Structure 1
Amino acid sequence: MAQSVPGPDTKTKLSDDYVRMVARDAFFWAWPIVNVHNRRVAFGGLPHPMLLGGVLPVGPANSLTMLTDYIDPAERAVACPNQDVVYGNGIVALDQSPVVLQVPDFGDRFWVVQVVDSRTDSIAELGSMYGTQAGFYLLVGPNWVGAVPPGIRRVFASQTGTGVVIPRVFREDTDEDLKAVQSVIGRIGLYPVAQFDGRVKLTDWRQVPAVPNAADSGGGETRWVPPETFLDSLPAALADAKPLPGESARYAQVLAVVDAAAHDAHLREVFEQAVAEADRELVEPLFEFRNYGRQLPHHWSTIANGACFGTDYFTRTAVAKSNIFVNKPNETQYFYQDLDRDGARLCGAGRYALTFAPGALPPVKGFWSLTLYNEHHFFEPNALGRYSVGTKSKSLRFAEDGSLTIHVQPQSPGAENEGNWLPAPSDGASAFSLYIRAYWPEPAAMDGRWTPPAVVRVE
């Protein structure tokens, strides 16, 4: 008969250095889990769907709030938003109830509904690339047992009780398409299974009220994982996200140290100092795209396991820090750039050109975009109100040979090139990053046969 393996002795005295080591390690690998947990704490108890600060779609747990247009540039809750799609957002509490996701017929319009657990791993396949049919889908929590209501097309199970649902619906940069997309997004829904009656529920998302937001992020993303509250948040976050295979010993070690620190003022001080150092030394550097990922020609980088990180703790935390809630690679492939062709940091003092050779646009079945982010990974205000270009853009002009050059600079490149202009920060000292999204990518965009062209500084 196999004997159980003993875990940490909870009555033993712990050394400061041991507590410090465990705290730093835990802060790094649990950072995304606590991030999502804290979003649920912040929004899950709201009374109704709303636009927080007039820009952020949030609402009570097990509900959805949709935007009706591109996200507002003032949004600061999720770094690296895009202006390619109409977003929705919902926190699910599957430990409270299974939820029904209502999917309309999108026709030939690109769409994907991302559903991730608290590890930011995808738990569902819903979108154009899957040939998903209109209808009703059920999201359930771990160990759920129950009868699937008639009319449900498919059930998706999460390994955690907490999750995030993010619909993305493509729209072109025209007033006509903005009007046309309203009837489609009005048929997207998310609600507890007890409210399911087999009938499509319609919502006019234009009626969602805007409410003030007193939080001030100082220009950067909301601090979802403050080191000073990590010790108190971690037990509940890990209780919701049960250990993956092979993680039980890691969990036991961490929770033993957390319990000791919670009952000993000195060890708490050691723990909190260690996580503050880990935040500065381990996590903060991963905000810069050039510090992680698969390295590509011309200083571009990418990832191959977005939203399916498993126990790749490094990439999961790096992505959560720099651009959380990425899609799976077969849904969207991402390419990141902080540097020009010569390895110098992109900044407002420079003028840059990005030229796609004839026939060498990002290979996609859906669409592609190039977005510029400021030093905080958010949009930089500009007179054109243009933050990305790509398939959606009607202004782009190709050269006679079929090539496409995007001009990235603070000042207009001239009337003849203004349609291909992606405005950069006007402050010469301001750093910025470029970011290519290939929605529903062809295999060449995922296996390395296609990579983005160099970002050339124009003298």
Structure 2
Amino acid sequence: MNRHAIRIATAVVSTALAGGSTAYAQQAPAPAFADLAMPSADVIPSEAYIRSVARSAYVWGWPMMNMLNRRARITQAPHPGLLGGVLPAAPRGQIAMLHDYIAPNQRFIACPNQDVVYGLGFFDLDTEPVVIQAPDFGDRFWVYALYDQRTDQYGELGKPYGSEPGFYLLVGPNWQGEIPDGISGVMHSPTSLANAIPRIFQNDTDEDRAAIQPLINQVVAYPLSEFTGEMKSIDWATAPDIENPEQGGNAETRWVVPDKFFDQFTEVLAMVPPLPGEEAMYAQFQWLMDVVAADPALKAAIVDEAGKAEAEIITPFLQWKHNGKPAGKGWNRSVNNAQWGVDYYDRTGTARSNMFDNRPNETQYFYTDNDAAGGVLDGSKAYAITFAAGEEPPVNGFWSMTLYNKEHFFHPNELNRYSLGTKNTTLTRNADGSLTLYAGATSPGGEKEANWLPAPDGAFSLYIRAYWGKEAILDGTWQPPTIELVE
């Protein structure tokens, strides 16, 4: 007899013995969370137990701490502009825009692409809502990715949603106020800390670089108090740069520091409301912080455990096999991107490896560190990646394949070429209509060079983006191409 049958039989027997009918006994209602006993901070737990809770807290809270520290750094900008001349930065409540592709030497965000012109801004939407402008982009692909502190997207704004030009209001969960006339739509963030990352497609020609300038100059955001109903404009190409003495290094800027994590963790718990079912987890984490506050030895233990979790759990997320799910032919594809819910694994993995994904319907990502035979991609070798005729990623927007070094950044090269795809007007196709792209440290020569992605001498990875994918992208029936070792 299975467990369900045992419960039913027990209910029937109980009512029969009581002289009642054989109708099933009603189960008592589950208690409300507020009525449950809470953990006591007066206990004396073992260090091992404290470490186990701390490790869970570190992995769970990593993306939200990442967002908190990015906002703290980026909003130090005295005005909208380019931090270190390479990264959009602005005071809280505003955004800044690039005026071309992102520079290869930036280290603020891993896995950038050179298909779009980016913007970036961070907000405190309960303190004051923000108005963000959407100019008339015509047929050009555009999407404004709006992220809450969990790195989930909120709101729908862009070409895939049929958004009209106009003014859009971003508000926090606790804001109460009047929406003025002239606002085209309201986007509600579930957390006060939020940001926006506009992405506007640009092809790889001087003509399109010129054509996009008046459009991106109208991509402006500002506090609601500054809204007038008239489009503001900033010439982003001439916006003054912002000095950045911290710029440098090969890896991404370290936004989460294990030694400092638990000094800020209670702030994260207070800022981010629990999702349904997370209340018990929040109670355990708050208990952890209360216990260690009274015991310096236990506080030292959780700081030590944070360092171990960073090395043993967070760092391995840089390997693409730990991100998403298999997509065929040695590739992985993203799962639940930017709509993580309680998928803590993929949310934290993406926050470490390629933070700020778009939603699946906006972009699907495919990535690999290996060739079709399972060998590690190495620039000292040469690879051919062939899309059969009609088998390039089926998209309504655009697609690209980007090459990254082992740190998930661009490899500097004389061609200043880091990705190939829809944006490129000089790709050469094979006689049968197929498209072969090449990757390696050495040029394949001749006409093939137009289809070549230069690689470092050592390990590298490949990354396909399918923006606004068609059904075959969304349902997984399209598979990425085979990566063949050619020498």
TM over 0.5: yes
Structure 1 residue matching 2:338: 3-state secondary structure: coil
**1:380-420 CA distances to partner (integer Å, 9 max, x unpaired)?**
01110000000000120111110000011111111221111
Identify the residue that residue 293 of structure 1 maps to in structure 2. Answer: 324
Structure 2 residue matching 1:304: 3-state secondary structure: coil
Q: Distance in 1 between matches of 2:166 and 2:323?
A: 39
1:197 matches 2:234: no
Q: Distance in 1 between matches of 2:247 and 2:83?
A: 12
Cα offset, 1:207, TM superposition: 2.4
Cα offset, 1:296, TM superposition: 1.8
Identify the residue that residue 190 of structure 2 maps to in structure 1. Answer: 159
1:328-347 paired onto structure 2 within 5 Å = 328-347=359-378
1:94-113 paired onto structure 2 within 5 Å = 94-113=125-144
Q: Distance in 2 between matches of 1:419 and 1:342?
A: 26
Contact kept, 8 Å, 1:101 with 1:139, in 2: the verdict is yes
Structure 1 residue aligned with 2:116, among 85, 88, 102?
85
Larger C-alpha radius of gyration, 1 or 2?
A: 2
Contact kept, 8 Å, 2:129 with 2:224, in 1: the verdict is yes
Q: Distance in 1 between matches of 2:174 and 2:242?
A: 37
Structure 1 residue matching 2:143: 3-state secondary structure: strand
Identify the residue that residue 25 of structure 2 maps to in structure 1. Answer: none
Identify the residue that residue 477 of structure 2 maps to in structure 1. Answer: 449
Structure 1 residue matching 2:187: 3-state secondary structure: strand
Structure 1 residue aligned with 2:442, among 411, 436, 443?
411
Unaligned runs of 5+ in 2: 1-30
Letter in 2 for 1:229: K
Q: Distance in 1 between matches of 2:323 and 2:403?
A: 19
Structure 2 residue matching 1:348: 3-state secondary structure: coil
**Range 12-21 or range 83-92, more displaced:** 12-21
**1:311-353 CA distances to partner (integer Å, 9 max, x unpaired)?**
1000100111100000001001100111001001101121000
Identify the residue that residue 147 of structure 2 maps to in structure 1. Answer: 116
Structure 1 residue aligned with 2:358, among 327, 335, 343?
327
Contact kept, 8 Å, 1:304 with 1:446, in 2: the verdict is no
Identify the residue that residue 346 of structure 2 maps to in structure 1. Answer: 315
Q: How many residues align?
A: 456
Letter in 1 for 2:341: G
Structure 1 residue aligned with 2:460, among 432, 445, 455?
432
1:387-402 paired onto structure 2 within 5 Å = 387-402=418-433
Runs of at least 4 residues off by over 4 Å:
none
Q: TM-score, normalised on structure 2?
A: 0.92
Identify the residue that residue 29 of structure 1 maps to in structure 2. Answer: 60
Cα offset, 1:264, TM superposition: 2.2
Contact kept, 8 Å, 1:363 with 1:442, in 2: the verdict is yes
Q: Distance in 2 between matches of 1:385 and 1:303?
A: 27
Letter in 2 for 1:243: P
Structure 1 residue matching 2:309: 3-state secondary structure: helix
Higher relative contact order (CA 8 A, sep 6+): 1
Cα offset, 1:212, TM superposition: 2.9
Structure 2 residue aligned with 1:150, among 181, 197, 200?
181
Structure 1 residue matching 2:335: 3-state secondary structure: coil
Structure 2 residue matching 1:87: 3-state secondary structure: strand
Contact kept, 8 Å, 1:33 with 1:238, in 2: the verdict is no
**1:288-309 CA distances to partner (integer Å, 9 max, x unpaired)?**
1112311121110012311000
Q: Distance in 2 between matches of 1:56 and 1:279?
A: 26
**Sequence identity (%):** 50
Contact kept, 8 Å, 1:33 with 1:118, in 2: the verdict is yes
Contact kept, 8 Å, 1:50 with 1:211, in 2: the verdict is yes
**1:152-179 CA distances to partner (integer Å, 9 max, x unpaired)?**
1111111111111000011110011101
Unaligned runs of 5+ in 1: none
Structure 1 residue matching 2:132: 3-state secondary structure: strand
Q: TM-score, normalised on structure 1?
A: 0.97
Cα offset, 1:14, TM superposition: 2.5
Structure 1 residue aligned with 2:380, among 336, 349, 358?
349
Over the aligned positions, Cα root-mean-square deviation in angstroms equals 1.2
Identify the residue that residue 242 of structure 1 maps to in structure 2. Answer: 273
Identify the residue that residue 12 of structure 2 maps to in structure 1. Answer: none
Contact kept, 8 Å, 1:411 with 1:423, in 2: the verdict is yes
Contact kept, 8 Å, 1:114 with 1:126, in 2: the verdict is yes
Contact kept, 8 Å, 1:217 with 1:223, in 2: the verdict is no
Structure 1 residue aligned with 2:292, among 261, 282, 286?
261
Identify the residue that residue 307 of structure 2 maps to in structure 1. Answer: 276
Q: Distance in 2 between matches of 1:217 and 1:326?
A: 24
Identify the residue that residue 42 of structure 2 maps to in structure 1. Answer: 11
Q: Distance in 1 between matches of 2:97 and 2:126?
A: 23
Structure 2 residue matching 1:437: 3-state secondary structure: strand
Q: Distance in 2 between matches of 1:198 and 1:13?
A: 60
Cα offset, 1:431, TM superposition: 0.7
Q: Distance in 2 between matches of 1:90 and 1:191?
A: 10
1:213 matches 2:244: yes
